[in-house]
Amino acid sequence: MNILVTGAAGQLGKTIANAVQDSSNRYFFCDVQELDITDAQAVEEYVKQNGINVIVNCASYTAVDKAEDEAEIADAVNHKAVAAMAKVAKDNDAVLIHISTDYVFDGTACVAYTEDSQMNPLSVYGRTKADSECAVAESGCRYIILRTSWLYGTEGSNFVKRIIEKSAENPVLKVISDQIGTPTYAEDLAGLIVSIIEDDMLDRTGIYNYSNEGVCSWYDFAHEICAQSGHLCDVLPCHTDEYPRKAVRPHFSVLDKTKVKKTFGIEIPHWKDSLTVCMNELKGKIY
């Protein structure tokens, strides 16, 4: 099979590249320089010329606050390009694996969101991702949408790396305690994506939630990162209001993973266990 991975220089794209080094399938990794997904014609030509069977769309406009001022660009990358990509997938009988976000929800729930929960994004970024989900579902292509949250890993820049760095430099850190969700270790998500492709599960189409198991606040997450790094930094809880940002985030975005676990026969590690794996990988490199 021929597999195109877009947004390949991002944290998930790079993590997938690391995970498929021994595959007998042919992977084509492209970031914006090689293939700008907003250029629908270029995407179509690339898919045709390389006989692409699967597109894994890791490309995204992910600057959540900046998107409030750049709604048109965010929509072009996160929504319009994805709608066009879904059409290319349909026309060329390819499967589209697309990544979405917990920010499609408004966070007013008090039980975990299922795949059928009502979307009601609070931010431009969330709206563009919600629109992408609808466009993919309406396109008629074969698709798997994986909706994930709080992504971090060994590649790219992310919350874990920032807290490791900040806790080495500061005796005290204040971190938001009134946003509740679940971190996702990019290596775990990449593992699922690769397994879907390599283990012949591409026919299990639909939308799925995927994060690690468990529930925490950003404060809990930061506290655990510090504890595992051994940094002597006091992590203190604070409210969202103390850190006003352009984009509104959901206060609660825990994802129910029953469907993904059943459909793909997987067990998902608890976020603390996956954090330990990541911290061991980063040890000696950034702390």
Computed on alpha carbons and rounded to an integer, the radius of gyration of the chain in Å comes to 19
12 binds ligand NAP (CB under 6 A): yes
The answer to whether 142 and 95 are in contact (CB under 8 A) is yes
Distance CA 122, CA 106 (A): 6
| Minimal distance, residue 144 CB to ligand NAP, in Å | 13
150 binds ligand NAP (CB under 6 A): yes
Distance CA 103, CA 61 (A): 13
The verdict on whether 27 is a catalytic residue reads no
Which residue in the set 46, 53, 101, 112 belongs to the binding site for ligand NAP (CB under 6 A)? 101
CB of 15 or CB of 229, closer to ligand NAP: 15
From 40-48, 57-65, 161-169, 256-264, span contacting ligand NAP (CB under 6 A): 57-65
Distance CA 106, CA 91 (A): 34
CB of 37 or CB of 176, closer to ligand NAP: 37
| Minimal distance, residue 36 CB to ligand NAP, in Å | 4
Residue 77 makes CB contacts below 8 A (sequence gap 6+) with: 37, 38, 59, 60, 61, 128
Of residues 22 through 41, those in contact with ligand NAP by CB under 6 A are: 31-32, 36-38
CB of 148 or CB of 167, closer to ligand NAP: 148
Encode 76-104: b = buried (16+ Cβ within 10 Å), e = exposed: ebbbbbbbbbbbbbeeeebbbbbbbbbbb
From 58-66, 108-116, 225-233, 255-263, span contacting ligand NAP (CB under 6 A): 58-66
229 binds ligand NAP (CB under 6 A): no
Helix axes 159-169, 218-229, angle to 10 degrees: 60
Distance CA 115, CA 62 (A): 22
Residue 64's SS3 state is: coil
59 binds ligand NAP (CB under 6 A): yes
Which of these is catalytic: 113, 125, 208, 219?
125
From 4-12, 137-145, 197-205, 274-282, span contacting ligand NAP (CB under 6 A): 4-12
92 binds ligand NAP (CB under 6 A): no
Distance CA 221, CA 233 (A): 14
Locate 84 and state its tokens: 């066009």
149 binds ligand NAP (CB under 6 A): yes
Residues known to be catalytic: 125
Binding residues (CB under 6 A) for ligand NAP: these are 6-7, 9-12, 31-32, 36-38, 58-62, 77, 99, 101, 129, 148-151, 156
